Chains A and B, each alone.
Chain A
Amino acid sequence: MSDSHHEESFWRKYIFSTDHKVIGIQYGVTALLFLFFGFSLMMVMRWQLAFPDTAVPFVGGLIKWLADLNGFASDGNLPADLYNAFGAMHGTIMIFLGVVPLVVGAFGNYLVPLQIGAVDMAFPKLNMSSYWVYFIGGVIMFASFFLPGGAANSGWTSYPPLSDIATTGQTYWLLGMVFLITSSLLGSINIIVTIVQLRAPGLTWMRLPFFIWSQFVTSFLLVLAFPPLEAAGIFQLMDRVFHTSFFLPTGLVVGGEILNVSGGGSPLLWQHLFWFLAHPEVYVLILPGMGIIAEILTNNTRKPIWGYKSLVYSSAFLGFMSFLVWAHHMFLTGMGQGMSVFFQTTTMIISVPSVIILSCFMLSLWGGSIRFNTPMLFALGWIPMFGIGGLTGLPLGLSTPDIHLHDTYYVIGHFHYVVAPGTIFAIFAGIYYWFPKITGKMLNETMGKIHFYTSFIFMNGIFWPMFIQGLAGVSRRLADGGTSYAHAQDVLNWNAVMSYSAWLLALAQIPFIINLILTLKKEREANPDPNPWKATTIEWTDTTSPPLGHGNFEKVPTAHRGPYEYSVPGEDSDFTPQSQN
């Protein structure tokens, strides 16, 4: 890379690039497409929930075609088997192909080297391969829709014994997951090494922007929590391909006959290994979001973030504790009191750092001269949404109320508040905030605000009624939305409210998409302001917008102060860049 002036071919520059910025954008575009795809699956499912067994409008033909291909009967409606597959794939796609690649792959890749004043990630070739491994994993997942029997249909949690005896789609799911896990592992090792080894001179640990800290903790979670799921995935592959019995107990009856396997396995083994990953995974989704929100809040309140050190220690503690709570997903598996008490205690403990982080964010608003631009609106909207998501989790973490609430729509409402308005608002905030950095062009504010207010209303329209339904006892994963259950009758009318909200939420994304396209097509100003938000961190102050190609910086920056020195008394401007001497 010593001579950065030679012309690179199209392939090297845009497809197999080793530049962290290009890879970040590749991750971002791919993951946004998957996010949209996963959302589309849900829109079809919401039709089935609101109007069971009627033909789906607009895409009915497509559904019929897919159902025929999979071997299910359909008259343009969504058959139950296909509903199950859509449900399992909605979860998988949103988490493993949408949000994680966005917050870690896209934001992490693009911003980490820029914010710490590094020329690139520590291992650029590894970085490129982790994107392509992710891409292959995505292709495998997508391809599984067109198999006989359809895509994986045992839920995104893939609990055996059901998943062990499910159709071929499950094998594709496992193969796809092995690729996605490998990609995440490589990517997170890269991020940790970059943060530890490539920080600019003077950028000590306590001078790192909170976003970097969140990426650091997240990457550790990925490195240490993902491998047990990989182990579990290998076991399930063995069960499915070589007919072993890791997860199959002796004498399992399927379809009235005893299954012809050796037996001796344990279905609960999967649940333990799965949640050993999947609980830390929740923090993988939310921590980078918190990092994004911290950057935007402090920038738009024009004052230092309240309690920087508490934020850092809380996020580290959060990461650590997230390994000690996994079995609170399994209170109903016949676990004894001793273990229940242990896991509900750790669950209550883990809520403390989350509350500290949320409190720091709210206190940061106090006395600030707040600028209500689009990224800030999304950040402000994020605070109560994540708050609702977090607080509704407390009853689930206690084993007694969990007996009533387990596997109901209450759970769905709870975790969607955390990851849908929670993480996705943070992603939108981040896109509006860093778009001028990436392209040198500001997104349109009016369209951005329309996007925010409509999304905010409809997100709540989808997820708030889930609490009502869940408290009434409506189970998740019912293809008819509870129509055939007597206890669900009183709350069934909410199904249509949620469904209309979901479709309106899709319409609410149109201003966003138009905004992106129009702004991208617009001619860039001759010398775009590299720092339109008047921010202090290195990515805004020490390089152009968009940043230079390979190398990022004209000269390696040096940090002289903390990340959030806004409105420092005695300074000329209300922000003092980190690199200012």
Chain B
Amino acid sequence: MSGKDFTEHILHYRNIFIYLLIGTALTVGASYMDFNVSNSIAGAVFVGLTIATVKGYLVAANFMHLNSEKKLIHWILLLTVFFLGLLLLIPLLWDINLISNY
């Protein structure tokens, strides 16, 4: 790796750092706002988690350099994310219960 590449990398990481700070500020700011979706905080949850997902993506793609990682790693993570989704759906089972309880 040449010195020029190195400087480029540093600039890149600095930018990501700035984006993450902006993201943090946005999350905190958003939490004080009232999105007023039918009198619940669903709107705030949606906005907060969307920002968190973007931040998480920035960390995973750049600091964990997933954007240039090997295919095998991507496949393993895809499988993991699928099962993670399944795991997070567990609470949904209760709601579906209510629907079919008539």
Contact = CB atoms under 8 A, between A and B. Distances in A.
Contact of B100 (A268, A276, A337): A337
If over half of B's interface residues share one DSSP class (helix, strand or loop), that class is named, otherwise mixed; here it is helix
B87 A228 contact: yes
A301 B97 CA distance: 51
Interface in A188-242: 196, 220, 224, 228
Contacts of A276: 87, 90
Contact of A336 (B72, B80, B98): B98
B86 interface: yes
Contacts of A334: 97
B28 interface: no
B86 A324 contact: yes
- Of the four ranges (under 10, 10 to 19, 20 to 34, 35 or more), the interface on chain B belongs to 10 to 19
B83 to A, nearest CB: 5
B100 to A, nearest CB: 4
A338 interface: yes
B96 interface: yes
A336 B93 CA distance: 8
B101 interface: yes
Contacts of A268: 94
Contacts of A339: 93, 96-97, 100
A268 B80 CA distance: 24
A335 interface: yes
Interface in A309-341: 323-324, 327, 334-339
A323 B83 contact: yes
- Of the four ranges (under 10, 10 to 19, 20 to 34, 35 or more), the interface on chain A belongs to 10 to 19
A335 B93 contact: yes
Nearest to A280: B83
B79 A224 contact: yes
A240 B83 CA distance: 29
A224 B96 contact: no
A449 interface: no
A545 B83 CA distance: 42
Contacts of B98: 336
A338 B102 CA distance: 12
B25 interface: no
A335 B72 CA distance: 38
Nearest to B90: A272
Most A CB atoms within 10 A — which of B80, B93, B101? B93
A327 B87 CA distance: 12
Nearest to A343: B93
Nearest to A269: B90
A325 to B, nearest CB: 11
Contacts of B94: 268
A272 B99 CA distance: 19
Nearest to A341: B100
Nearest to A225: B83
Interface of A: 196, 220, 224, 228, 268-269, 272-273, 276, 323-324, 327, 334-339
30 contacts: A196-B72, A220-B79, A224-B79, A224-B80, A224-B83, A228-B87, A268-B94, A269-B90, A272-B90, A272-B93, A276-B87, A276-B90, A323-B83, A323-B86, A324-B86, A327-B93, A334-B97, A335-B97, A336-B96, A336-B97, A336-B98, A336-B99, A336-B100, A336-B101, A337-B100, A338-B96, A338-B99, A339-B93, A339-B97, A339-B100
